Structure 1
Amino acid sequence: MAVYGYARVSTVEQAASGNSLDTQRSILSGVAQSEGMEIGRMFVDRGVSGSKPLEDRRAGSELLSALEAGDVVFCAKLDRMFRNASDALTTLQTFKDKGVRLFLKDMGGDVTGNGVSALVFTILAGVAQFERERIAERVAENRERLVAAGRFVGGRVPFGMRVVDGEDEQGRPARFLEPDPEKEPIVVRIKGLRSDGFTVRAVQSAVQKEFGERVALATISKLSNEGDAR
């Protein structure tokens, strides 16, 4: 059985005493001694962001490669080792399946044994679900914000529009949607006919005869509802 310790500090946190490597080493040594063990090797990631999963960190990857059944790992805090609850949940299950014990001081001790394990896994599962929902919400909100600003965020280009290259507020390359001069007469005609009371199918037929362009019924309906806001 091998006993390991794992510590991590990000670039910003290296000067903060509460998260310093010396503090983490001291904490881990004390926790290990309270369990009747002594850490044989410390794996340390310096200046590594917590957004990186354990396997993508130099020391984290070395730790995972060194682990064998029966080994024990000590870490001061959940966020020192994992990037989020979902990552923690997956990795902890891997540890359990492999027969590796993980002690996290801020989570009450052995999170892979029979003590606080069930509670920890229940909490992490709930937090992981919340994180997934919040990420989905943020992505949707950001997409709506970009679309409102005229940005092209991928997918099908709306009829009557074209994609052009430009720069965002920070001067970074970006893509935008703008009216397509070649399609603009068709869009104007569609809106005019709809305003005059023509049905969607009648507009489709008229536009095809006049411009040689068959516009989808759904597109005509959408353009009609946009009015002059476009």
Structure 2
Amino acid sequence: MKHAAIYIRVSTDEQAEQGYSIDAQKEKLTAYCVSQGLDHFKLYIDDGYTGTNMERPAFRRMVRHIQEGKISAVIVRKLDRLSRKQKDVMTIIEDIFEKNNVSFTSTTELFDTSTPFGKAMIGVLAVFAQLDRDMIVERTTMGRRQRVNTGRWYGGRVPFGYKWNKELQELEIVPEEARIVKRIFQMYSEGHSRLEIAEWAASRTNERMIDHSVIRDMLERVVYIGKLRNAGQIVDGLQEPIISQKLWDAVRAEAVKRKDGALPKGDFLLTGVMKCGVCEGNIVHVKRCTKVKDKEYNYELYACKKQHVRIKDRVGKCNLGYFRRENIEQFVVDQIKFLATYPEKITELMNEEKEMPDDEISYEQLQAELKKVNTNLENLYDAIESGDLKASSVSDRIRKLEEKRELLENDIDELTDNKLPTADEKTVRAVISDIGSAWNYFTEEEQKTAIRKLIKHVVLEKDGRHHIEWIFSF
């Protein structure tokens, strides 16, 4: 025997709204079925599921029962209980209900699909259901942005290193966690891998699960320098910073180096900072052993990874050649000491860097484009709300503008992260002078850290005219 299906859905945000609770919907819809003589009915309840997601357990079970021929009618309190997306509503009505001869009734909107007028009303109400959903999203987004503009945390999981003070409505530093956060940033700036940092951090706290992906996210959060992100812009937050701007800039410099192909600090002095001048590939360490008249000679070399592989495994061609490890490392050390001895060369190098072309699209251009997109969206929302435009007629345009806004915000975030301030010449000279004079007293680990602080890439050239790309953002 077929039965009627009472479908009930309440999202998490709607739990507190009058008339939307599970019990309220159940009472009213059960009474409706009894009044209509529908004695055989079954409840399908999705508690805590949003109307924008079709993957709801009770809904999927109801659809399966419809396809199995067990249901003759579906009753809901309101059309948006099925979905808040116009396209999904029409698909459910036409491809599921109508194909299986199942009538659909909304008790508060006075229509059903057994009549021609009811079918015509479906499309109209579905448009307004989606519009309502879009306006809720917009209001929520605007509220969040207004909160962030005042410097207040916008909600969500509190960042590791802080706790939430409900009375002051502010983030407060947790000292023992803050020490871990600070060391995480320091380790990354010194060249340690994210995996190595994660293993270290996980051994020192049980408050959070920490792996390499958590470390990656932490290193990108401006909350740790007392800032907040708001629609692609960085604004001042009320929270006390955990790390300094200087350390943040050092991490950004290290991130840019790794993005350009540099590897984390390894076993050798120049691991992670070398680059092939022929194909821009990574440089690897090579060991070779030869025997001459029963005497064994061992050599340590640097070569392009694309060249130093078996022929069948090669991707592309490279003929950089092989260079003695000790010669390359001595070349780098000599260059550092040379700059420390002749600081006027630093002035020349910094001037060369300033003359390099800026990014094709500047930060200001992206901001202007984002402002234009936001203005267009606001105008469309206002026109829909005032009745000058139908939501259905501009929904595709709104979607494209929202997608463009997201892309622009991502570009602005990336440009902001990669834009590193150049230190003043006096600071650069002082740092290089200190490193150069103390080099012979450094441990090997300290030498590796110093190199990563000063050098972006050591570029190996086929003709032996190697050169160094320096970093002046410490």
Q: Which structure has the larger Rg?
A: 2
Q: For residue 24 of structure 1, what is the amino acid of its counterpart? A: Q
Q: Which residue of 2 aligns with 1:163?
A: none
Q: Does 1:130 align with 2:129?
A: no
Structure with higher RCO (Cα < 8 A, 6+ apart): 1
RMSD, matched Cα: 3.1
Q: For residue 65 of structure 1, what is the amino acid of its counterpart? A: R
Q: Which residue of 2 aligns with 1:64?
A: 63
Q: For residue 96 of structure 1, what is the amino acid of its counterpart? A: E
Indicate how the Cα distance of structure 1 residues 125 and 10 shifts in structure 2: closer, same or farther if over 3 A, else same.
Answer: closer
Where in structure 2 are there 5+ consecutive unaligned residues?
A: 131-389, 420-474
Deviation at 1:131, TM superposition (A): 4.4
Counterpart CA distance in 1 for 2:70 and 2:41 is 16
Q: Does 1:151 align with 2:153?
A: no
User: Does the 8 Å CA contact 1:73/1:101 hold for their aligned counterparts?
Assistant: yes
Indicate how the Cα distance of structure 1 residues 132 and 46 shifts in structure 2: closer, same or farther if over 3 A, else same.
Answer: farther
Of the three residues 96, 99, 111, the one matched with 1:97 is 99
Q: Which residue of 2 aligns with 1:14?
A: 15
Deviation at 1:83, TM superposition (A): 2.3
Counterpart CA distance in 2 for 1:137 and 1:12 is 24
Deviation at 1:122, TM superposition (A): 4.8
Q: Which residue of 2 aligns with 1:157?
A: none
Alignment of 1:1-230 (within 5 A): 1-53=2-54, 56-67=55-66, 68=69, 71-94=72-95, 95-110=97-112, 112-114=113-115, 116-124=117-125, 130-131=391-392, 133-141=394-402, 143=404, 146-147=407-408, 151=411, 168=413, 174=414
User: Does the 8 Å CA contact 1:43/1:63 hold for their aligned counterparts?
Assistant: yes
TM-score by length of 1: 0.57
SS across alignment from 2:114: coil
SS across alignment from 2:43: strand
TM-score by length of 2: 0.29
Q: For residue 411 of structure 2, what is the amino acid of its counterpart? A: R
Indicate how the Cα distance of structure 1 residues 76 and 49 shifts in structure 2: closer, same or farther if over 3 A, else same.
Answer: same
Deviations 1:179-210 (A, max 9, x none): 9xxxxxxxxxxxxxxxxxxxxxxxxxxxxxxx
User: Does the 8 Å CA contact 1:10/1:46 hold for their aligned counterparts?
Assistant: yes
Deviation at 1:11, TM superposition (A): 1.1
User: Does the 8 Å CA contact 1:70/1:100 hold for their aligned counterparts?
Assistant: yes
Q: For residue 106 of structure 1, what is the amino acid of its counterpart? A: T
Deviation at 1:121, TM superposition (A): 3.7
Deviation at 1:39, TM superposition (A): 4.9
Indicate how the Cα distance of structure 1 residues 139 and 100 shifts in structure 2: closer, same or farther if over 3 A, else same.
Answer: same
SS across alignment from 1:44: strand
SS across alignment from 2:15: helix
User: Does the 8 Å CA contact 2:6/2:29 hold for their aligned counterparts?
Assistant: yes
Deviations 1:11-47 (A, max 9, x none): 1222333200111011211221232113521000011
Indicate how the Cα distance of structure 1 residues 86 and 124 shifts in structure 2: closer, same or farther if over 3 A, else same.
Answer: farther
Q: For residue 61 of structure 2, what is the amino acid of its counterpart? A: E
Counterpart CA distance in 2 for 1:125 and 1:48 is 19
Percent identity between the two aligned chains: 25
Deviations 1:84-122 (A, max 9, x none): 222111211121121011111122142x21253233145
Counterpart CA distance in 2 for 1:176 and 1:143 is 18
User: Does the 8 Å CA contact 1:150/1:176 hold for their aligned counterparts?
Assistant: no
User: Does the 8 Å CA contact 1:69/1:100 hold for their aligned counterparts?
Assistant: no
User: Does the 8 Å CA contact 1:76/1:105 hold for their aligned counterparts?
Assistant: yes
User: Does the 8 Å CA contact 2:89/2:126 hold for their aligned counterparts?
Assistant: no
